[in-house]
Amino acid sequence: MTNAFERHGLDHLSASSINLFVAQPAMWAMQKLLGHKSRVGAAAHRGTAVEAGVEMGLFDPNLPLEDCQEAARARFNQLTALSADPNVEKERAGIASAVAIALGELRQYGIPGSADGTRQHRIEVELPGVPVPFIGWLDFWYPDHGIIIDLKTQGRLSSKISDPHARQGAIYHAAHGNNEIRFAYVTPQKIGVYRLEDPRTHIARVVSIARSIERFLSLSDDGAELTAALSPDLDSFYWNDPGSRAAAEEIWGLAPEAMPQA
């Protein structure tokens, strides 16, 4: 007998998936049940670019910083080549500095571990009471030190690990319980590295969210019906992508011409 996830074509969960369900359930349904994908903005591309430059510098500690910075800028330019986001130039401006600050801190840990020639490590873990596994990717794993580090870029430095990130870290810990989970938050000005405390509390929340998703999916085998039962918060930055807003107008009848006449 198939479970509610499988009936909707969902064979796994991830940290980003459960966090999206908590923050914007309507967008979660639009993406996961109806297949409408959202394009990310320049800030997300900045994070990907900085991570690319930092990764180069960590796996090759003798590589000049300038080469890492140039690789990061090139990655950002590639990702934003067709972007209409007005913040592209603002985000580009802080990339080189963020790479320098992150490498200055993280190179102290040494060279991360690699497996089968790959730099990132795929994880897959089953949690009690959840019928599908969680899948994810580790940024930087130091097996000799028993430390996993996830890199996050920000405009303003966090003073602690956010709840969504704590849930992500708890999933990593469930997959590699003998490792300490740390989050490195980097801005163009500074960096903060924080240790995840009490991952068991956060994994309990992960399981609770997964079960909520399962109960929601159990209400109907019709993804469109489930999606229509929700309502999007279009004031949220999650809906900044014009394509997502257009899809929302179509799905939920939000266009002016779709409004009933008095």
Enter the DSSP assignment of 10: -
pLDDT of residue 116: 60
What tokens does 56 get? 């180069």
DSSP state of 115: B
Q: Partners of 149 in the beta sheet?
A: 140, 182
What does the pLDDT look like over 212-235, one tens digit per residue?
999 999 999 999 999 999 999 999
Position 196 scores a pLDDT of: 98
Distance CA 239, CA 24 (A): 9
- For residue 117, what are the contacts with CB-CB under 8 A and spacing of at least 6? none
The residue that leads in pLDDT, 242 or 186, is: 186
Mean pLDDT of 65-85: 95
Q: How crowded is residue 61: how many other Cβ atoms within 10 Å of its Cβ?
A: 10
Confidence of residue 186 (pLDDT cuts 50, 70, 90): very high
Specify the pLDDT at position 254: 75
Per residue in 18-52, pLDDT tens?
999 999 999 999 999 999 998 889 999 999 999 99
Q: What is the mean pLDDT of the chain?
A: 93
The percentage of the chain sitting over the pLDDT mark of 90, rounded to a whole number, equals 86
Pick the range with the lowest mean pLDDT from 67-71, 100-104, 113-117, 171-175: 113-117
Q: pLDDT at position 19, please? A: 98
Q: Output the pTM of the full model.
A: 0.92
Pairing of strands 140-142, 134-138: unpaired
What's residue 120's pLDDT? 80
Q: How close are the terminal C-alpha atoms of the chain, in Å?
A: 48
Output the pLDDT for position 259: 46
Confidence of residue 83 (pLDDT cuts 50, 70, 90): confident
Rounded-to-integer distance, Cα 109 and Cα 107, Å:
5
Cα–Cα distance, 155 to 151 (Å, whole number): 14
Q: What amino acid is encoded at 144 in this protein?
A: D
pLDDT band for 115, please (50, 70, 90 cuts): low
| The two structure tokens encoding residue 188 | 């163009």
Is pLDDT of 262 > 90?
no
pLDDT at residue 261 is higher than 70: no
Q: Which spans in 84-241 are helix H?
A: 88-93, 95-106, 163-175, 199-218, 223-228
Evaluate if residue 258 carries a pLDDT over 50.
no
Phi/psi region, residue 150 (left: phi>0; alpha: psi -120 to 50; beta: rest), is beta
Please compute, for residue 57, the number of CA atoms within 13 A of its CA located in the half-sphere on the CB side: 28
- Can you give the pLDDT at residue 257? 53
